[in-house]
Amino acid sequence: MLYIVWALPALIVIGLLASGRVSTLVAASIGLLVAMVVALGAAPGEFQLRDGASALFRGAWIGWIVVPYILGGLLFWQMAIRPGDAAMPVESLRQNRQSRRRLLFAACFLIGPFSESATGFGVGIVGTMLLLRRLDLQPVHLMAFSLLSQTMILWGGMGNGAIVAGAFSRSDPTTLAVNASFFQVALNALWLPLYWRMAEKAGVGASSRECLSEAVWLGGSLLLLIAATRALGPEVAMLCAYGPVIMLRYLVDERPDAGQLLDALRRMAPFAILITWLMATRLISPLSELLLQTGRLEPFFGAPAWSPLFHAGTWLALGAVICAFLYGHVSSLGSQVLTAWKTGRLAILAIIIFSMMAELLSSSGIAAALGEGINSAAGGGALTCLALVSAVFGALANSGNAANGLFMSSQVSLAKEAGLNVAAVIALQHTAALALNLMSPVRMSIVCNMAGCCGQERTVYRAMLPFAAAVIAVLLTGSLMITYRVL
């Protein structure tokens, strides 16, 4: 009975989201209230009101750390792309099979993930669909391909999920992201053939040679991304790795003349300058140390510190302001800030609330006790069950942070109780929390509204079902390999 009481916050949030009658923010708020009552009234150890207040403040701090990534990323994207009429360099659309296919691949696997990394929240879908409209695809294929921009969501929103997950699991975000990236490789190895099959059905097929070329481009990009994550951290890795890859792809496909090349460089200049600076702040040790220590705040031991001059979100926001001046759109800056807040506010508030809930459950000992109970009840299947539940919950909430907030601490406790590889369990949990987000109801609503096909969500879900099955296969295989000590 006590285990059911401890699980009430998670069960209530899952039930509310599954009902579809309340928003993620409302469900999170109710879950937080329930977690507070359960922690104060039924914690396995002593847990006083002051302990609860401390946990809430710590959770709010963890949530705050990612706010500059969200608002800065959205604002930079709006000011660098829209007012300046900039665009990603892609091959000019010629009416031939190869040109159409190369645009499709670049939009789905390069430009879309790059856009999502800078912004998050499915914004990458918008840019991807704008590019894919040039191919005159059937609506269902247009929507399904646009969702593939979310396949690199591990690095979405400046990798803020890895930072929050690291705080929940008391682990290093960079190590966590690198470990999780190997599951990402497995997912892409399964998703790419499914993409080939869907492209053939959509009338954008390709020769075996072109498919091999796509596999090489995707594999090479992933290897570069993992290396960048290890060297630079999850926040800036995607921008620094995929920015040059996108430009190289443009040069290989388009072979532009001097005028076209200068135009592409002009359009990409804000991103190139930002990427170069962010790389410098990570790779030049004296500069990195100076920025890290200047104004550094670390109010909670083991929680992420905030160094305003090292934080990528600060430079994204500053870059947006500079773009406004350079493009002569200073007058629109205020409205763009408001637009960024309107776009990101629900996600920001939900992240903060779920972080507070996670800290309550962890600090009170409830998460650890639940992990022990689940391990005792489910044995070897406990890890698999929690991973699958996390995947579904992450999709319902449209947030890996929400799923990690509810389940990460329990997964860590379960791993320790069962003597499993804790780092591998953390990586699997983070992957599970994010992997099905490409099919979340929120993202599905975005593509249907953009395509003018409201009410056709079920058709798109059917088209994306094989991609979801690939996620389940990777999670099942990964959990079994961890359970039987292969990993």
| Nearest by Cα to 404 from 4, 8, 7, 10 | 10
**Which burial class, exposed, middle or buried, applies to 216 when counting CB atoms under 10 A from its CB (0-12, 13-18, 19+)?**
exposed
Check residue 91 and give its pLDDT: 53
- How many CA atoms lie less than 13 Å away from 426 in the CB half-sphere? 26
Cβ–Cβ < 8 Å for 370, 385: no
What is the per-residue pLDDT for 372?
A: 81
pLDDT band at 95 (very low <50, low <70, confident <90, very high): low
pLDDT for res 433: 95
Can you tell me whether residue 28 is helix, strand or coil?
Answer: helix
- The pLDDT value given to residue 163: 93
Please state, for a pLDDT cut of 70, what percent of the chain lies above it: 97
pLDDT digits (tens, 9 = 90+) for 310-347: 999 999 999 999 999 988 888 889 999 998 898 888 88
Q: pLDDT: is 23 or 114 the higher one?
A: 114
Q: For residue 334, what are the contacts with CB-CB under 8 A and spacing of at least 6? A: none
Q: Which pLDDT band, with edges at 50, 70 and 90, does 107 fall under?
A: very high
Token look-up 């807040």 returns 341
| Higher-pLDDT residue of 453, 407 | 407
DSSP code, position 206: -
Phi, psi of 24 (to 5 degrees): -60, -40
Q: What are phi and psi of 121, to 5 degrees?
A: 65, 25
pLDDT in tens, 222-244: 999 999 999 999 999 999 999 99
Q: What is the pTM of this model?
A: 0.89
Token readout for 18 is 């599954």
Scan for tokens 């409209």, then name that residue.
133
pLDDT in tens, 378-405: 777 889 999 999 999 998 888 888 899 8
Give the list of residues 6+ apart from residue 466 with CB closer than 8 angstroms, or none.
194, 197
Q: Give the amino acid at 202.
A: A
At residue 471 the predicted structure's pLDDT band, cuts being 50, 70 and 90, is very high
Rounded to the nearest 10°, the torsion over CA 439, 445, 446, 452 is 130
The 10s digit of each residue's pLDDT in 346-366 is 888 988 999 999 999 989 999
List the chain domain ranges: 2-483
In this prediction, residues 85-100 reach a mean pLDDT of 64
- Judged by average pLDDT, the poorest of 82-91, 195-204, 294-303, 437-446 is 82-91
State the pLDDT at residue 82: 57
40 pLDDT exceeds 50?
yes
Per-residue confidence (pLDDT) for residue 343, from 0 to 100: 82
Q: How much is the mean pLDDT over the chain? A: 89
Instruction: Look up residue 374 and give its two tokens.
Output: 């689940």
Q: What is the pLDDT of residue 140?
A: 94
Q: Find the radius of gyration of the CA atoms of the chain.
A: 22
Average pLDDT on 247-259 reads 88
pLDDT of 83 strictly over 50: no
CA 419 from centre of chain: 29
Give pLDDT, residue 88. Answer: 55
**What is each CA distance from 7 to 52, 351, 406, in whole angstroms?**
18, 20, 10
Helices (H), 202-299: 208-232, 237-254, 258-283, 285-293
Cα distance between the two ends of the chain: 34
Say if residue 84's pLDDT is above 70: no
Residue 24's pLDDT band (cuts 50, 70, 90): confident
DSSP classification of residue 150 = G
pLDDT of 93 reads 54
- Whether 85 has a pLDDT exceeding 80, the answer reads no
